[in-house]
Structure formats: C-alpha cells, structure tokens
Amino acid sequence: MYRRIHLRRVTRGLRFRLTASYALFFTVILIGVAGLFRESLKSKLDARVEEELNGDWAAAKGGYLRIDWSAEVGKGAASWYYDAEDPDETTIVLEIKKVYLIADQFGNVIPNAKTKENEVSTTYDDLGADPPPEIAKRVIAMVNARPNTPGKTFWTIRRNAQGEPFKIRAGIAYDEHHVAPYYVAIGASLADNEKILRRFTWTYIGVIPGAVILGSFLGWIMAGRALTPVLAVAQTAQRISGSNLSLRIPTRQAGDELDYLVLTFNRMIERLEASFQQMKQFSADVSHELRTPITAIRGQLEVALFTAKTTDQYREAMFNALQDVDRLSQIVRALLLLSQAESGQLVLQKSRLNLCEVVEDLVEQFQILAEEAGVTLTADLPPECAAEVDRVQIERMITNLLSNAIKFTAKGGEVRVALNPLPDRIEIVVEDTGRGIATEHLPHIFDRFYRVPGSGAAPSPEQGLGLGLSFVAWIVKAHDAKIEVDSTPGKGTRFTIKLPSGGVGSDTMEIAAQPATLV
Ligand code: ADP
C-alpha cells in the first residue's frame, strides 16, 4: 500500500514528469534523426550504384559491345570486343556481363554472333524474363524520348527468387549501320547496400534504448537539481508557524525564476509577519486598555466596600466607578466599530453633498469647546464644494481631527479648518498652533491605541483612547483619499486630506479586511 502511494507520488511529481517528457522528446528526436540519416545513406549508396552502372553502360556502348546484322545467324547479333590479355579490359567486360540482357526492338533476346548463345546472363535470367511486349514498349518510349533526358534510360529494381535486389539500367544501342535500335539492360546487385542499411538500422535500434536511458538518467539528475530550491521552499514553508515567522529562504543569487519564487515567498512571509505582529500588538493593547479601567473600577468598588463611611464617600466611589465603566464601554464600542470597518462590514453610504455645509455645521458645534479651551476656531471655506462622500464618516473624520486640534492646543492658540477645491481633488485642511508631534511619533499616530508618550498621565476620558486617528485613516482609505501630516513640535500640526473630486465610482464600497495604512 505504502509502495503504491509512494510510486504514485513519484510519478505525479514534477521531476518525474519533466524527465518523462524529456525522454519522450529525446526518443522522438533520435528516431527522427535515425530515419533522416538512413534515407540520406540509402540515397548515397543508390547513387554510387547508379554511377557504376552509368560507367559500365558508357564502356559497353563506347566500344566493348557491338551489335550488327549477322548473316550467319540470320538476324541481329552481339559481339564483344576487348583484349583478353588486358586484365583491365577483361575485368570491365566480365563485370558488365555479370547481369545483362540484350534484346532487339521487339523484345527478343539476341544471340552472340560467334557462340550463337543468347545474350543474357544467368543472374539476369534468375530475375525472370521481361516479357517481349514490355521491352518493345520501353524501346519505343526511349527512342522517342528527347536526347539527354531521363526518358532515354529506364531504371528498375528487380529481385531474384532468393530476394536479392538488383538495380537494372536499360538503354538503347544502335547497330553499326544505325538501322535498328536494340534494348541493352545491365544491372548490379544491391545486396551490399541493403546489408549496410540493415546493419545501420540494427546498430541504431541497439543504441537508442541505451541513449534514452542515459539521457533520462541525466535528465532526472538535472531536473532534481533544478527543483531542489523548490523543495527547500516547501520545507521551509512547512517549518513556518506563528512562532517562527522570521524564517527566510536564502536565495541562490542566480537571478532566475526560482530566485524570483523564493523572493516572492520571502516577501509574502514578511507581510504575514508584519500583520501577525500587528495582531499580537493589537490584542496586547486591547487587554492593556481594558485592564486599566477594570482595575480602576475594582479600586472604586473596594473603596465603597471597605473604606467609605459617609453617603458622599459612597456616592463619589460609585461615580468614579461609573465613569470608568463609561470609558470601558466607549473602548469596546470604538473597537467594535473599527473592527467592523476594517473587516469590510461597514459599508459606505455615499451621496453628493456640499462639504462646506458639513464643515460649517461642525465648526459651529465645536465653537463652545474651543471657547472653553481658550482657542480661536476659524473656518476658511469656499462658497460651494460638492463631493461624493459618506456624510457620517466624513463628519466623524473631521470631528476627530478638530477635537484633537483643540485638545492639543494651549490657551490663546488657533485652530483653522479650510476646504480647497482643486481641479483633480478637494483638500480638507485642519491645522492648529498647538504643541505639535515629534518626528519619531509621526509614523505611529494612526496606529490603534497609540498616544504620544508624555501627552498626559494615566488614561482619562479627556485624554482619548488613541483610536481616533485609526478611524480617520480607515475613512480616508475607504474614500480612496490620502492624508498627510505636517507637524513642528511647539509650533503646530497640519492634517491635509486629499479627496479625489467627483468621488469614487459606486454608492457603496466594501473595505478590505486589513488595517488601514497611510499613504
Ligand atoms: P486620541 O483619542 O488619544 O486623541 P488619536 O488616535 O486621535 O488618539 O491620536 C493619537 C495621538 O496623536 C494623540 O494621543 C496625540 O498624542 C497625537 N495627536 C493627534 N492629533 C494631534 C494634534 N493636532 N496635535 C498634537 N498631537 C496630536
């Protein structure tokens, strides 16, 4: 069972499939090359035999063979002229006479002028006689063919009873007086050629499996090498858990696709690590934030239970406890809203409205608070500023910014709200002449529960939850806007929101479940 599963895993693996396709490809190429090679060898060997036959034919026609009317025989007869003492001439003529046939224009084999024997070799005879009408037809075709054209010769391949192949070259020869055409066929065995081709084929058939096995083995090793980093990625991925998200896969510095994969994977873990860290930090912050009012409530209740004597003391302890309960429920409500917003459950309800009116109303509401704090609150608004926004969220955003500005500006300071409609965007500016934010804290002010250290003693209802700017960040992101903070400690702070004019597409919009980040 285990073996079967293991085998299936191997055969489904990328390494196996790469090797298998490589082996298949290699085999097809090898067979193709062998076929091409064999064809080219065959045509070379054939051409050599044709060349030899052409040479023999030229020698016979050029002088060794003469055909003439023989009064003795009573018809056309052949004579062979050569010096029997000359080994070269003898060899050539004997070579020609190995496979040959001479017939008249009607297809009848003619005799030798001297011996009277038929001019056909036994080897040619073994191939089976050509029927005279067939020969006669060929003669007519060759006589009528234009000079120096392939039609002047007739090529064929014949096999004897044993299956031995012969290449036959036939042509026309005229008698001495050019009276009648004669059919002269000479041939050569192709047995050697076939033997060479057969040996070639068998050698190749023997070599191909070995080459394929060797090629596949090399392919297997190469595929294994190429895939090692992939395995490393998989193994590292398996070792990664919440507690060791700091693991990274080392790149091979090869600059190839696998390095790109490793890099992408490492970046993904980096992002995971960051959001995991954020989650951890968030739950630590939440429990810390909740613990503070709970401890305070407990303290107040203990006071009421053990030390309070008078009704006023009871009332005071209860009042304090109630205040802490308020703060507790405020935190819980804010957290719930924020998590709803960030998980996409809070959907924007956009409508086209005049931002000037919205800002004007809010400034009016904050005038009392500003007066109490001794801060001058002014608004710098154009007559009209239409935008496609979610009224509730935009009000929440400006409220948060305004209350912070007033809260962190000392008596005698100024807070200004401005709206600047530009061609491509609307800028909402909330600036103050307050205490400002030091550069090192700027990147964190939008984090949940982040309060600039030293901004107050223990948390109190006035001090805020450190959640206001997190909301602002989410609202900005949900409106596809951008926020910029410009702050000089001791001089003041300016928040600029750049809202794309005309709003963003649809009436409702889902927000991805991820912490709003600043841009
Ligand atoms: P909180 O509810 O405590 O105001 P926020 O998220 O709104 O929390 O702000 C985070 C922190 O950023 C504040 O605690 C404060 O230290 C700083 N901050 C925000 N706005 C201003 C401002 N206008 N001037 C100075 N500091 C500010």
Strands 414-421 and 376-380: parallel
Same domain, 417 and 384: yes
Query: Which two tokens mark 371?
Result: 């007066």
Same domain, 333 and 365: no
Please enumerate in sequence order all residues whose Cβ is within 8 A of that of 116, keeping only pairs 6 or more positions apart, or say none.
Answer: 73, 77
Strand segments (E) across 65-213: 65-70, 75-80, 100-104, 154-159, 165-174, 181-189
In a domain, 437, yes or no: yes
Q: Ligand 1 centre and the CA of 466: distance in Å? A: 7
In a domain, 10, yes or no: no
Q: Ligand 1 site: residues with CB under 6 angstroms?
A: 400, 404-405, 408, 432, 434-437, 445, 450-452, 455, 463-470, 493
In a domain, 230, yes or no: no
Closest ligand 1 atom number to CA of residue 446: 6
Write down the pLDDT at residue 425: 93
CATH value at residue 469 = 3.30.565.10
Take atom 14 of ligand 1 and give the residue whose Cα is closest: 451
| The amino acid at 434 | G
CA dist., res. 455 & res. 495, Å (int): 19
Same domain, 381 and 310: no
- For the beta carbon of residue 124, count every other beta carbon within 10 angstroms: 24
Q: In b/e form, how buried is each residue of 283-293, taking b as 16+ CB within 10 angstroms?
A: eebeeebeeeb
Take atom 18 of ligand 1 and give the residue whose Cα is closest: 404
- For the beta carbon of residue 106, count every other beta carbon within 10 angstroms: 12
Closest ligand 1 atom number to CA of residue 434: 24
Q: Ligand 1 centre and the CA of 312: distance in Å? A: 36
Closest ligand 1 atom number to CA of residue 471: 6
Cα dist. 454→39, 437, 451 in Å? 93, 11, 8
CATH value at residue 256 = 1.10.287
**Looking at the DSSP assignment, which residues form a beta bridge with residue 103?**
109, 183
Residue 246 contacts residue 273 (beta carbons within 8 Å): yes
Q: Ligand 1 centre and the CA of 463: distance in Å? A: 9
The pair phi, psi for residue 28, each rounded to 5°, is -60, -45
In a domain, 393, yes or no: yes
Please state the domain count of the chain.
3
Residue among 409, 432, 445, 446 whose CB has most ligand 1 atoms within 8 A, to mutate: 445
**Looking at the DSSP assignment, which residues form a beta bridge with residue 100?**
186
Take atom 7 of ligand 1 and give the residue whose Cα is closest: 468
Same domain, 386 and 429: yes
Residue among 327, 397, 404, 452 whose CB has most ligand 1 atoms within 8 A, to mutate: 404
Residue among 408, 485, 493 whose CB has most ligand 1 atoms within 8 A, to mutate: 408
Same domain, 355 and 432: yes
CA dist., res. 153 & res. 75, Å (int): 25
Cα dist. 408→181, 363, 442, 464, 491 in Å? 127, 17, 15, 11, 11
Please enumerate in sequence order all residues whose Cβ is within 8 A of that of 149, keeping only pairs 6 or more positions apart, or say none.
Answer: none
| The amino acid at 219 | G
Q: What's the longest Cα–Cα distance across the chain?
A: 169
CA dist., res. 451 & res. 518, Å (int): 17
In a domain, 73, yes or no: yes
Q: Ligand 1 centre and the CA of 479: distance in Å? A: 22
CA dist., res. 95 & res. 193, Å (int): 18
Same domain, 180 and 291: no
Take atom 21 of ligand 1 and give the residue whose Cα is closest: 404
Q: What is the pTM of this model?
A: 0.51
Q: Ligand 1 centre and the CA of 42: distance in Å? A: 92
CA dist., res. 511 & res. 390, Å (int): 13
- In eight-state DSSP terms, residue 61 is I
Same domain, 124 and 254: no
Q: Ligand 1 centre and the CA of 468: distance in Å? A: 8
CATH value at residue 130 = 3.30.450
- 3-state SS of 62-75? HHHEEEEEECCCCE
Take atom 8 of ligand 1 and give the residue whose Cα is closest: 466
Among 343, 378, 404, where does a domain finish? 343
CA dist., res. 119 & res. 97, Å (int): 9
Unique residue bearing structure tokens 């009332």: 315
Q: In b/e form, how buried is each residue of 244-267, taking b as 16+ CB within 10 angstroms?
A: ebeebbebeeeeeebeeebeebbe
Please enumerate in sequence order all residues whose Cβ is within 8 A of that of 459, keeping only pairs 6 or more positions apart, or say none.
Answer: 289, 292, 293, 327, 465
Same domain, 300 and 362: no
Q: Ligand 1 centre and the CA of 470: distance in Å? A: 10
Please enumerate in sequence order all residues whose Cβ is within 8 A of that of 430, keeping only pairs 6 or more positions apart, or say none.
Answer: 398, 401, 402, 405, 415, 416, 417, 494, 495
In a domain, 4, yes or no: no
CA dist., res. 366 & res. 362, Å (int): 6
Residue 353 contacts residue 328 (beta carbons within 8 Å): no
- For the beta carbon of residue 107, count every other beta carbon within 10 angstroms: 18
Residue among 333, 377, 448, 451 whose CB has most ligand 1 atoms within 8 A, to mutate: 451
Q: Ligand 1 centre and the CA of 465: distance in Å? A: 9
Residue 399's domain spans which residues? 345-500
Residue 296 contacts residue 317 (beta carbons within 8 Å): no
Helix (H/G/I), strand (E/B), else coil: 116 = coil
Return the closest-CA partner of residue 355 out of 168, 501, 201: 501
Q: Ligand 1 centre and the CA of 491: distance in Å? A: 15
Write down the pLDDT at residue 147: 86
Same domain, 179 and 255: no
**Alpha-carbon Rg of the chain, whole angstroms?**
53
Take atom 19 of ligand 1 and give the residue whose Cα is closest: 404
In a domain, 156, yes or no: yes
In a domain, 43, yes or no: no
Same domain, 139 and 276: no
CA dist., res. 428 & res. 420, Å (int): 7
Write down the pLDDT at residue 429: 97
CA dist., res. 172 & res. 175, Å (int): 10
Write down the pLDDT at residue 6: 63
Same domain, 371 and 445: yes
Intervals of the chain under pLDDT 70: 1-11, 454-463, 502-519
Closest ligand 1 atom number to CA of residue 466: 8
Q: Ligand 1 centre and the CA of 458: distance in Å? A: 15
Closest ligand 1 atom number to CA of residue 432: 23
Same domain, 82 and 109: yes
Helix (H/G/I), strand (E/B), else coil: 284 = helix
**Looking at the DSSP assignment, which residues form a beta bridge with residue 420?**
427
